[in-house]
Amino acid sequence: MTTRGTPAPTARRPAELREALADYLGMAIALAVLVLVFSLSTRHFFSAVTFKTIANQIPSALIVATGMTYILIIAEIDLSVGSVLGLCSAVTGVTLVQFHWPLWAALVSALVAGLACGAFNGLVSVQWRLPSFIVTLGMLEMARGGAHFVTQSQTQYIGSAIEPVAESGVFGLSLPFLLAVLIVAAAQVVLSRTVFGRYLVAIGTNEEAVRLAGIDPRKIKLAVFVLTGLLVAIAAVIDTSRFQSANPNAGTGFELQAIAAVVIGGTSLMGGRGSVISTFFGVLIIAVLNSGLAAVGAKDETKRLVTGAVIVAAVVVDHYRHRLGRARTS
């Protein structure tokens, strides 16, 4: 039964391809419209300074949102990313400032901290089949407590010891930015072209069917949580390097920003559907929105109002687009 059979129907997937392109095109247009609107409304927006600021801001957001995309695709959630970022940052700061460790050792300890938090989230929620919402909510508190504990609630001023991370780069692009783009690209390829990526989508759509097909979903889910912990640690190092200090409150509210970016990108909270490229656009949209509103002189409360409204609007648009898509195919 394993003989090579007739040649396969070689039809490309026009519908699927078109749908994916339409996805990205729609996001790109939305982004362009935002840039245009802000450029027209204020002279302060369309400038090299603004874009450099955005490029500096987004690497950590992109990296965390990439992990969050995987998490949402398998129909889980990770509320702890902001606190874990704080903890990893604190570990970096304390090992450098208090223990005078070399930079590489400090970075490794930060990565280990992120990995451990991710592994805890994964093991507890997978092993006892607990909702990840609750487990990561617990981790949100624990990691924040841990960050304050190791730093004695004192911001650790690191200075130039950590400068190499954020300042090095090639072709005028910073290392963090390049790293973030690399991670996004790799994550997208893994998602769409590898067995692991296929399993993620399958688990997010119907975990029981995957289990009964003789594939252990627990290992894969655990891997996603661990991976997210690792990505958060990388983001923490980048942020710590950018500010040259480790604040135990770093990353507060970051989890909601990450979820918002992923959802604006059209990844479903119900799992089984998502794309890292779309998340990339989601992060950009939020970043441009923030900078743009700042440039037009909007106050913090206005910024939050507008950002919140955009999130809801994006989800509503996504809902209708998918209903239309479904109506067309059936």
Partner 1 sequence: MAGVQGGASNDGMTPANPLLRATALRKSYASPVLIDVDFDVRSGEVHALVGENGAGKSTLARIIAGLTAPESGSMTLDGEPYAPASKIEGERRGVRLVMQELNLIGNLTVAESIFLGELPHRCGWIDYQELNRKARNMLARVGLEGVEPGQLVKTLGVGQQQLVEIAAGLSKHCAVFILDEPTAALTAPEIELLFAQVNALKAAGVGIVYISHRMEEIQRISDRITVLRDGQIVATRPATEVTLNEIVNLMVGRELAQAIQRTPKPAGPVALRVNGLRRGTAVQDVSFEARRGEILGFAGLMGSGRTETMRAIFGADRPDAGEVYLHGAERPARIHSPWEAVRQGIALLTEDRKQQGLILAMPVRANVTLMCLSRLSRWLGWIERAREKAEAGRWVQALSIRCASPEQRVVELSGGNQQKVVVAKWLYRDCDILIFDEPTRGIDVGAKFEIYHWLIQLADQGKAVIVVSSELMELLVLCDRIAVMSAGRLAAVFARGEWTQEKIMAAALSGHLTHAKVSA
What separation in angstroms does the CA of 44 have from each of 37, 54, 290?
A: 12, 14, 14
What does R_g of the chain's alpha carbons equal in angstroms? 21
Residue from 278, 276, 259, 277 nearest 318 by CA:
278
Kindly state the smallest distance separating residue 261's Cβ from partner 1, in Å: 23
C-alpha torsion sign, points 28, 29, 30, 31: positive
Q: Decide whether 155 or 205 has the Cβ nearer to partner 1.
A: 205
CA torsion sign for 250, 171, 192, 13 is positive
User: Could you give the C-alpha distances from 82 to 34, 151, 224, 251, in angstroms and in order?
Assistant: 27, 17, 17, 4
Between 86 and 272, CB nearer to partner 1: 272
C-alpha span between 130 and 122 (Å, rounded)? 10
Residues of this chain that bind partner 1 (CB under 8 A): 1-2, 4-11, 13, 15-16, 193-196, 198-199, 201-202, 205-206, 208-216, 272-273, 329-330
Residue matched to tokens 């661990």: 226
Q: How far is the CB of 9 from partner 1 (least distance, A)?
A: 5
In this complex, which beta carbon is closest to partner 1, that of residue 170 or of residue 327?
327
- CA distance from start to end of the chain: 33
DSSP 8-state code for residue 247 = -
Contact assessment for residue 245 and residue 93, using Cβ atoms and an 8 Å cutoff: yes
Comparing CB distances to partner 1, the nearer of 82 and 272 is 272
Q: Work out how close the CB of 233 gets to partner 1 at its nearest, in angstroms, rounded to a whole number.
A: 22
Give the span between the Cα atoms of 316 and 33, in whole angstroms.
18
CB-nearer residue toward partner 1: 172 or 214: 214
- Cα within 13 Å of Cα(261), Cβ side: 31
Query: Of 1 and 170, which has the nearer Cβ to partner 1?
Result: 1
Residues ≥6 apart with Cβ < 8 Å to 142:
83
* C-beta separation of 96 from 158 below 8 A: yes
| CB contact at 8 A, 110 and 91 | yes
Phi then psi for 173, rounded to 5 degrees? -100, 135
Q: In this structure, how many other beta carbons lie within 10 angstroms of the beta carbon of residue 160?
A: 8
